Amino acid sequence: MSDPRQPKPAAPIAARVAALEEALTDAGLVPEGYLDDATAPMEEALSPRNGARVVARAWTDPAYRARLLADGARACAELGYELPYETSIVILENTATVHHAIVCTQCSCTAWSLLGLPPDWYKSPEYRARLVREPRALLREMGLDLPESVALKVWDTSGETRYMVLPLRPEGTEGWSEEQLAAIVTREAMIGVARVSVG
Amino acid sequence: MVDSPGALVIGPARERRLEGIHDLGGMSGFGAVEVERAEPVFHEHWERRAFGLNTLGLAVLRAYNVHEYRHAVERMEPAHYLAASYYERWFTAVASLLVEKGVVTREDLERRAGGRVPLSRPATSITATDASAMRAEMPARFTVGDGVRVRDMRTRGHTRAPRYVHGKRGVVVRVAPTFLLPDLAGHGRRAPHEWTYQVEFPATELWGAEGRHGDTVVVDLWESYLEADT
């Protein structure tokens, strides 16, 4: 017997979303083709390959690296990335003594244009709760064991500024082309939960 | 709780009702983070649609702003919030706002969905007193190197000051551009543009002996959230 005090189970999420789409369409509020035309190009354009190209350029061109750290938006625009979703961007440079990692504890803000739409792990309550409080333990679980000699800075994306980590260039990549380097730069490294490694 | 007029947004006296489940920073009891290899942008078609419906609501219908959107996610029932996937939270916020703004009705959505459509809880009202307590100073009040303390805030509505920095001391490491104050914009109110600051907090200031000496957390905060630490 059903308990009248218990709410009925919710309709399946796919049915709820379809209901809203249908209601708005019937009201004439959805421009023809909008839901496909507007989102498909975003899926394509918002990709961590963009950030990887910026990183690879910074690794191979010291003057570009300096411009990137001084004015991230302008340096990204040089490579054709206009960052429509990021009014303010800061590039965080990992060094031999400082490691940066990014989180958004209150939702899941990221630099979409450079890192892509965020992956599930970044959006998980586990990551959001733990990175600010026990970052070293969490990073170790995720495969990144930071030495005691390295200071860790965690950046909580609580405002409108967005961040991207400029990871350390791995050894054994001397003489590599920009394309080769971009291919090994992962989204995880640009968020600061992994190093870039060769092979 | 009693929703009396004249209640201050900023000030230590008032108890907050159970809200802010989204404010997860530093909360204990969470387990391992699972990283999916070669994760697709969307796992299901409805996720892509939920994404598109939000860009429609924001950019085409202009039915709400991004701060109201974030606030609508935060207003979800806590149990629903934690159980829902990311794009279910997007959908719930969009549907709630479009119902609240009178664009669609809940009854119509539930009829079409063939079942219940859980929505976010209503927003608490903030008062004129709230707004006056948050007037910005121009030009930027703080500069790089300044010691600041985050006000001991008791916010009843939307804010972007995470709970784990309330009352904590840090140092300004960067002055960022000005942005709309979310505490008002999130309620559809006229909001000032305020300076925002990246403020660095020692892990030991935030977490006591649990924090590692030398490690820090940098949080991006609006000027209204800060006072000088002299």
Predicted confidence band of residue B126 (pLDDT cuts 50, 70, 90) = confident
Predicted local distance difference test score (pLDDT) of residue B133: 58
Measured CA to CA, the distance from residue B181 to residue B132 in angstroms comes to 13
Could you report the per-residue pLDDT of B133-170, keeping only the tens digit for each?
A: 556 557 899 999 999 999 987 667 899 999 999 999 99
Q: What is the pTM of this model?
A: 0.92
The answer to whether A151 and A81 are in contact (CB under 8 A) is no
Predicted local distance difference test score (pLDDT) of residue B147: 98
The answer to whether A154 and A103 are in contact (CB under 8 A) is yes
Task: State whether residue B22 sits within 8 Å of chain A by CB.
Answer: yes
Predicted local distance difference test score (pLDDT) of residue A43: 84
Residue A141: CB atoms within 10 A of its CB come to 16
Specify whether domain A46-191 bears CATH 3.40.50.720. no
DSSP state of A93: E
pLDDT at position B12 over 50: no
pLDDT at position B23 over 50: yes
Closest of A152, B48, B165 to residue B222, by C-alpha: B165
Predicted local distance difference test score (pLDDT) of residue B11: 37
**Interval A173-197 mean pLDDT:** 97
Could you report the per-residue pLDDT of B26-47, keeping only the tens digit for each?
A: 999 999 999 998 899 999 999 9
Nearest to A107 among B45, B48, B73 (CB): B73
Paired with B153 in beta bridges are: B10
The answer to whether B192 and B135 are in contact (CB under 8 A) is yes
Closest of B160, B145, B146, B162 to residue B228, by C-alpha: B146
Task: State whether residue B63 sits within 8 Å of chain A by CB.
Answer: no
* H-state helical runs in A71-111: 72-78
Q: Say what the ipTM of the complex is.
A: 0.94
**Interval A66-85 mean pLDDT:** 95
**Cβ-defined contact of A121 to B33 (cutoff 8 Å):** yes
Return the active site residues of A.
104, 107-109
Instruction: Say whether A113 sits in a helix, a strand or coil.
Output: helix
Predicted local distance difference test score (pLDDT) of residue B165: 97
Predicted confidence band of residue B131 (pLDDT cuts 50, 70, 90) = low
Token pair, residue A76, equals: 């990204």
Residues of chain B numbered 153-192 and touching chain A (CB < 8 Å): 160-162, 164, 174, 176-177, 179
More confident residue, B206 or B3: B206
Phi, psi of B217 (to 5 degrees): -125, 130
Measured CA to CA, the distance from residue B140 to residue B178 in angstroms comes to 9
Predicted local distance difference test score (pLDDT) of residue B156: 75
Predicted local distance difference test score (pLDDT) of residue A10: 94
Going along chain B from its start, the domains and CATH numbers come out as: 18-123 (1.10.472.20), 131-228 (2.30.30.50)
Predicted local distance difference test score (pLDDT) of residue A16: 98
**Interval A162-187 mean pLDDT:** 97
Predicted local distance difference test score (pLDDT) of residue B125: 77
Could you report the per-residue pLDDT of A14-54, keeping only the tens digit for each?
A: 999 999 999 999 999 999 999 988 888 888 899 999 999 99
The answer to whether B94 and B101 are in contact (CB under 8 A) is no
Cis peptide before B139 (omega within 30 of 0): yes
**Cβ-defined contact of A130 to B22 (cutoff 8 Å):** no
Predicted local distance difference test score (pLDDT) of residue B9: 41
Token pair, residue A34, equals: 């909008």
Measured CA to CA, the distance from residue A49 to residue A47 in angstroms comes to 5
Question: To the nearest whole number, what is the mean pLDDT of chain B?
Answer: 88
pLDDT at position B208 over 60: yes
Predicted local distance difference test score (pLDDT) of residue B132: 53
Predicted local distance difference test score (pLDDT) of residue A151: 98
Chain B positions in Cβ-Cβ contact with residue A105 (cut-off 8 Å): 23-26, 162, 164
Could you report the per-residue pLDDT of A6-17, keeping only the tens digit for each?
A: 678 899 999 999
Domain ranges of chain A: 13-42, 46-191
Measured CA to CA, the distance from residue B198 to residue B176 in angstroms comes to 7
pLDDT at position A59 over 60: yes
